A = this chain, B = another copy of it.
C-alpha cells in the first residue's frame, strides 16, 4: 500500500498540534465554545460530543493553512495530487457542491446571448448558470430508455445536428451518469464537439468514483471531455458540499475560471470540507480499488439475494438497445413495484419504516446508493424490509397502476433547437402573476419548478406550460415529491409571465 499522505489534513493537524492562541475567526475558538456547560436534557447529547474534534480543523486563512482562492501551499499541493489521481491537468476543490462548479463553468465561458448546447434534463444549477451568465440554451431532449422510461444523454446525432446549426456555441453541456446510475461512453460526443473546437462540459456529480475500480465505468475525463464537475461527497468519503472540478486541455481559460470560482463560492471556505476531499483522494491513492471492495461485496450479495426471491420489488431493467450502450454504476440499485400497487414515493416511505433510508424516489422508482463501507448488516436490514413489504403487497387488493418515472416520457417534447434565453429582460414587457396550476396551460412559466431530488427542473422561467406538464406536476405533488425554490411549495399555484394588458386592475 502507498503511504497515506494528505497534505492539507496534515497542515491542519500540525497547526492544531501547536496549540496556537487563535485571535481570529471562527468564533468557536477551536471548539472551546462547544465545551460550555449547557442544560441539556437527559435524552439528548452535548453538541461538543459531535463538534469539538472537527472544530480543531475549522480554521481560517492563516500562514499555516493556505487560501483556496489563492492556493500556494497545502491546498495547492492537495489539488495537484488530486489532478494526478484523477488523471487531469487541473483540479479545483469546491466547497459549494457541484452547484458551484456548474455555475462557475458557465460564467467563465459565456457572455450574454452566447449559445450553449444543453441536455434538457440537467441539474438546475446548470440552468441557473445560464441565467446568471445571460447565455442562451439550445436544448436537446434526452434519449429515453423504452423499458424503464428513464432518460440518459441525448443521442449523438442530436448533438451533432445542434453543433452543425450552432458551430459558434460556447460549450456542449451534458449530465452523465444520471441519478439512476445510467451513463454512456462520451468519447464520440467529445470527438463531435472538438471537431468544432467547442468544449464539452460534463456534470458527473454521481460519478466521482468512476475509473477507480474495474467494476466501475470509465470516468468522462478518460474519454477526453474538457471539464468535469463531480460531487465528491456523493460517492467518496467526503463531507457534504465537498466537490471537484477537473479541467484538461486548453479550451477552458483558467484565469477566468479561478475568478468565477472565487465569485460563486464563500470567501471563507470550510477547511474541514476541503480536508475531507484531500483525505478521500489520499484514501484512493493508498487503498486503490480496495476502497470500494466492501460496498461492491454488499451490493452483489444483495443482487444475488434479490434475483432468487419472489418479491414484488424488482430491479429496473433496460431495453436491449439501451442496455447495449449503457455503462451502469454497480453501486446504485433502482427498484420498483412490479405489482404496480405502489409508487416509488410509497416504497421509499415503507422502507423507512424498516429503518432503510433511500437516496431518492420518483413516481415509479426508489434509488438506493451503496456508499463506501455499506455493511452486510445494512443489507440484511434492507432484505428484511423488502421481504416484509413484498409479503404485505401479496395480501392487498390495491388496483395496479402504471407509475411513470420522472424522466417525463408522458407527452412533452423538450428539444428546443431555437435558443432559449433566461434573462429577466427577455420578459421585460410582461408582468408576473400567480395563478392556479390548472389555469396555466399555454402560459409562460415565471419560475423554476424543480422536484428535489433529483434537482432537474420540469419548468424553467420562460418555458411554455403544456397540459401534460400540468398533469405531471399535479401528480408529483400529490404523490409527495418535494420542490425546491418554488414560490408556492404546494404548487397549487404557479407564477407566470402575463401580458400587462391581461392583468386584472
Contacts and interface: CB of A to CB of B under 8 A. Distances in A.
A213 to B, nearest CB: 13
Interface stretch (A149-157, A163-171, A283-291, A309-317): A283-291
B452 A28 contact: no
A381 B19 CA distance: 11
Contacts of A25: 231, 233-235, 240, 359, 369, 371
Nearest to A448: B259
A43 to B, nearest CB: 9
A377 B38 CA distance: 23
Contact of A240 (B237, B268, B372): B268
Interface stretch (A50-58, A217-225, A395-403): A50-58
A378 B23 CA distance: 9
A36 B374 contact: no
Interface residues of A, number: 145
A246 interface: no
Contacts of A216: none
Q: Which of A29, A125, A352, A455 has the most CB of B within 10 A?
A: A29
A222 B98 CA distance: 37
Interface in A341-365: 348-349, 352, 355-360
A423 to B, nearest CB: 7
A35 interface: yes
A55 B50 CA distance: 9
Interface in A23-41: 23-29, 32-36, 38-41
Contact of A32 (B231, B352, B375): B375
A34 B28 CA distance: 24
Q: Which of A287, A373, A428 has the most CB of B within 10 A?
A: A373
Contact of A487 (B35, B239, B255): B255
B70 A452 contact: yes
A358 B33 contact: no
B124 A41 contact: no
A136 interface: no
Contact of A24 (B23, B358, B375): B358
A503 interface: no
Q: Which of A45, A134, A261, A357 has the most CB of B within 10 A?
A: A357
A475 interface: no
A489 interface: yes
Interface stretch (A60-68, A187-195, A322-330): A60-68
15 contacts: A4-B41, A9-B47, A21-B355, A23-B358, A26-B239, A28-B233, A29-B372, A38-B287, A53-B53, A60-B240, A62-B357, A70-B484, A107-B132, A240-B272, A258-B487
Given A22-B357, A22-B378, A49-B53, 16 more contacts: A23-B371, A24-B359, A24-B368, A28-B239, A29-B237, A36-B291, A38-B286, A51-B239, A51-B276, A96-B96, A111-B428, A123-B267, A255-B488, A256-B487, A259-B448, A259-B485
